[in-house]
Amino acid sequence: KNIQMLKCLSKRSKNSLNGTFRAIRSIYKRSEQCNAYVPIVIENSPNEGSRGFDIYSRLLRERIICLHGPITEEMSSVVTAQLLFLESENPDKPINMYINSPGGIVTGGLAIYDTMQYIKPNICTVCMGQAASMGSLLLTAGTKGMRFILPHAKVMLHQPSGGAHGMASDIAIAAEEILKTRSILNSLYVHHTGQRIEEIEKVMDRDTYFDAKKSVEFGVVDQLLEKRSGDGEK
């Protein structure tokens, strides 16, 4: 239906439409692989004809990044690329990151975290749904004063988990490495929340859930956001 609609939109810009068709077919192929439907946004331009964007690409033009789902190495690659791209576009304009994630791979999450701290633009983080495990670190890693949570979202903190198998010496090395990772994560939470290390270690020892108000009190975020302001902010 989308392709039929595009064919009727403009006969003046055949090259532009052909590019749009290829983009849409590519998007449909990706969405079928992940069993998700990705909406298409159609834009009409007097000079360029009609163009189709997947919704995430269109939001990226507004400097909005959606970090939704488990944090994998593939997601990390995409999000870090988006951050670097938006910095190159305008290093002085804030980036908005909407987070709804159960967490995931620590190395992938730390790659996103380091990139957030590395680039120049301020980063506004918003928790919608949940920010658990590594997702909670990325939430609190936003620019101070620009970290928000929606009313029914929740945050979960816990220590990293992992498994090891093989020779005893390799298992010992893996155990030592995960303890180092836990220490690094604890220090990052101390830095961003303002809590004492003893409190962070206590909270991180087991799965600890915070509702929106408790997340603000603990310092994971700065403010509970119920309604977008009317001044045009994202």
Give residue 190's pLDDT: 97
Structure tokens at 140: 């609190």
Cα gap 130→99, rounded to integer Å: 7
- pTM of the predicted model as reported, rounded to 2 decimal places: 0.81
Residue 44: pLDDT over 90: no
Beta-carbon contacts of residue 135 (< 8 Å; ≥ 6 apart): 67, 71, 99, 100, 101, 102, 103, 104, 109
Q: Look at 151 and 27; give whichever has higher pLDDT.
A: 151
Q: 120, 165, 166, 124: which is closest to 143 by C-alpha?
A: 124
In whole angstroms, how far apart are CA 50 and each of 20, 45, 58? 8, 6, 14
Query: What are the tens digits of pLDDT across the range 183-213?
Result: 999 999 999 999 999 999 999 999 999 999 9
DSSP result, 36-68:
----EEEEEETTTEEEEEEHHHHHHHTTEEEEE
Cα gap 134→108, rounded to integer Å: 9
Give residue 52's pLDDT: 79
Give residue 183's pLDDT: 95
Cα gap 60→95, rounded to integer Å: 9
Query: What are the tens digits of pLDDT across the range 61-72?
Result: 999 999 999 999
Residue 91: pLDDT over 80: yes
Q: Look at 201 and 229; give whichever has higher pLDDT.
A: 201
Instruction: Band the pLDDT of 36: cuts 50, 70, 90.
Output: low
Give residue 11's pLDDT: 44
Give residue 163's pLDDT: 67
What percentage of the chain's residues is helix, strand, coil (to nearest 5)? 50, 20, 30
Residues designated catalytic? 133, 158
Query: What are the tens digits of pLDDT across the range 120-172?
Result: 999 999 999 999 999 999 999 999 999 999 999 999 999 887 766 778 888 88
Report the pLDDT averaged over residues 32-58. Answer: 75
Residue 54: pLDDT over 80: yes
Instruction: Band the pLDDT of 229: cuts 50, 70, 90.
Output: confident
